[in-house]
A and B are shown apart, each in its own frame.
Chain A
Amino acid sequence: MDLKYKLKEMIIEEMQIEDLTPEEIADDAPLFGDGLGLDSLDAVELVVQLQIYFGVEIKNIEQGRPALQSINTLADFVKAHQAEASKV
């Protein structure tokens, strides 16, 4: 399954978003604020779920802010850090 689709499924499931399917989430839609409408508590939850689902860790805000902009940026972050982890 496509990584972006998995991310969307994870967000819907773990953020408890009803009435939305993965197909309805645009890859470039903002995750927070006006886009998907997630908030700061969701951000904390997302960090934990990324580690549970994909084994990647957002260690600080400098990493987190660019990564959590959209599905695209999140997928890029996961790919990059999974690749790093596999090299070690």
Chain B
Amino acid sequence: MEAVYQKSSKETVEHPLDHQFDHPPINNPIDQLKDLSPKVPGKGDAGIELLRAGVSGLEQYVAKSKLRRVDHYSRMALLAAGRTLEDSKLSSPESSNRTGVIVATGYGALESTFSFLDSYIERGDKLALPTHFSNSVHNAAAAHISICYGISGPTLTVSQFDLSFISALITAGTWLETDKVDAVLVGAVDEWCELTGYCMQRFSEHSDTSPRSFGEGAVFFLVTREKTAPPRYGYFKEITMGRNLDRQDPGPYDIIFSPSSAALSPDTFSPDKLSSDILSKTPENRIRVWKRKKGGSPTDMGMDAFFAFKCKKDNGLDVCCLKQGEAGMFGKVILTLSKKISLFNP
């Protein structure tokens, strides 16, 4: 697995899990909920500082000539996928048609989409830019990955906004269980642009200037069936998507909660209520909860899973990544570092 994400101006890793997972359990988690304090979304013309994920080093995986028309959205995906393939040492050409690709994205290629729409609005349909259109389709990243890395198995792009990543994981599991493929390169990518930053500030119900998370980045996992070689990082033990979160098994888990990315959507359940419901069923000292501040990225769950696998010490607790969707929907992934029996492993 690998990820590409924003760096702060201090060149430190942004994701708070990198620093927080070593903390001991909190005695009173309700009062001491740690904010997954976001990368501050940008300042451009809208007064938002723009922090883009770096994609240097991509030429190590893809020839520069092939990157000529590839936009930032697809470049992030290509870099994360390339690093993941290198990390997994999956280089055998014989396995390329037994490897699938699934890319999850909430917003798709925002900059290319807006560039195409601008050209259409300014100059009409006859002079709308073809290259921007070809890059604007959500499945551009998956297509570039398949072509550049020679993966000839099934390819899919999933867009279900906040629940895109979990939906992609469910599909990956289905492909593995039905022996459609032996491995799935599954990941999530979303990009930031100034226009979304402006819209968040201009139209969000949260009109204050407190920072909110809208990270851009890409994260990929190579998942296989459990019966193959032991996983390098761990297991996706349980993957759930649905409603009625409070009826779910409370753990014990280390919980990472990420609210809906839709700035205008009402919170149909409060993260504080979520915490109190869960904590009322679980011994206080066996659970820790982290929640993001308002707003987030559709790729949050993928990033949280990446950092959980990467940073978390094996203290016997599984990690529960929760992502709030709209209209009461949620996505839940249980990650485990132990060698328990599970559906499949990354």
Residues of A within 8 A of B (CB): 15-19, 37, 41, 44-45, 48, 51-52
Does B68 lie within 8 Å of A41, measured CB to CB?
no
Which residues of the partner chain A approach B341 to less than 8 Å between Cβ atoms? none
Does B68 lie within 8 Å of A48, measured CB to CB?
no
Does A16 lie within 8 Å of B130, measured CB to CB?
no
Selected from B64, B123, B126, B131, the residue in CB contact (under 8 A) with A41 is B131
Does B129 lie within 8 Å of A17, measured CB to CB?
no
Question: What are the interface flags for B37-69 relative to A under an 8 Å C-beta threshold, 1 for contact and 0 otherwise?
Answer: 000000000000000000000000000110011
Which residues of the partner chain B approach A15 to less than 8 Å between Cβ atoms? 68-69
Which residues of the partner chain A approach B64 to less than 8 Å between Cβ atoms? 18-19
Does A44 lie within 8 Å of B68, measured CB to CB?
no
Which residues of the partner chain B approach A18 to less than 8 Å between Cβ atoms? 64, 68
Whose C-beta in chain B lies nearest to the C-beta of A37? B65
| 26 A/B residue pairs, CB under 8 Å, sorted by A | A15-B68, A15-B69, A16-B69, A16-B131, A17-B68, A18-B64, A18-B68, A19-B64, A37-B65, A41-B69, A41-B130, A41-B131, A41-B134, A44-B130, A45-B129, A45-B130, A45-B131, A48-B126, A48-B127, A48-B128, A48-B129, A48-B130, A51-B126, A51-B127, A52-B123, A52-B127
Residues of B within 8 A of A (CB): 64-65, 68-69, 123, 126-131, 134
In the assembled complex, the Cα of A52 lies from the Cα of B120 at a distance in Å of 12
Which residues of the partner chain B approach A52 to less than 8 Å between Cβ atoms? 123, 127
Which residues of the partner chain B approach A44 to less than 8 Å between Cβ atoms? 130
Which residues of the partner chain B approach A45 to less than 8 Å between Cβ atoms? 129-131
Whose C-beta in chain B lies nearest to the C-beta of A43? B130
Which residues of the partner chain B approach A51 to less than 8 Å between Cβ atoms? 126-127
Which residues of the partner chain A approach B128 to less than 8 Å between Cβ atoms? 48
B111 to chain A, nearest CB (A): 14
Which residues of the partner chain A approach B126 to less than 8 Å between Cβ atoms? 48, 51
In the assembled complex, the Cα of A80 lies from the Cα of B190 at a distance in Å of 46
A44 to chain B, nearest CB (A): 5
Whose C-beta in chain B lies nearest to the C-beta of A15? B68
In the assembled complex, the Cα of A51 lies from the Cα of B126 at a distance in Å of 10
Whose C-beta in chain B lies nearest to the C-beta of A17? B68
Does B68 lie within 8 Å of A16, measured CB to CB?
yes
In the assembled complex, the Cα of A37 lies from the Cα of B134 at a distance in Å of 19
A37 to chain B, nearest CB (A): 7
Which residues of the partner chain B approach A19 to less than 8 Å between Cβ atoms? 64
Whose C-beta in chain A lies nearest to the C-beta of B129? A48
B136 to chain A, nearest CB (A): 13
10 pairs of A and B residues whose beta carbons are closest in the complex: A44-B130, A45-B131, A45-B130, A16-B68, A48-B127, A16-B69, A52-B127, A51-B127, A48-B129, A48-B130
B120 to chain A, nearest CB (A): 11
Please give 14 more A-B residue pairs, beta carbons under 8 A apart, in addition to A41-B69, A48-B130, A52-B127. A15-B69, A16-B131, A17-B68, A18-B68, A41-B130, A41-B131, A44-B130, A45-B130, A45-B131, A48-B126, A48-B129, A51-B126, A51-B127, A52-B123
Whose C-beta in chain B lies nearest to the C-beta of A19? B64
Which residues of the partner chain A approach B65 to less than 8 Å between Cβ atoms? 37
B183 to chain A, nearest CB (A): 31
In the assembled complex, the Cα of A62 lies from the Cα of B270 at a distance in Å of 64
Interface centre among B64, B123, B127 (most CB of A within 10 A): B127
B87 to chain A, nearest CB (A): 28
Whose C-beta in chain A lies nearest to the C-beta of B134? A41
Which residues of the partner chain A approach B127 to less than 8 Å between Cβ atoms? 48, 51-52
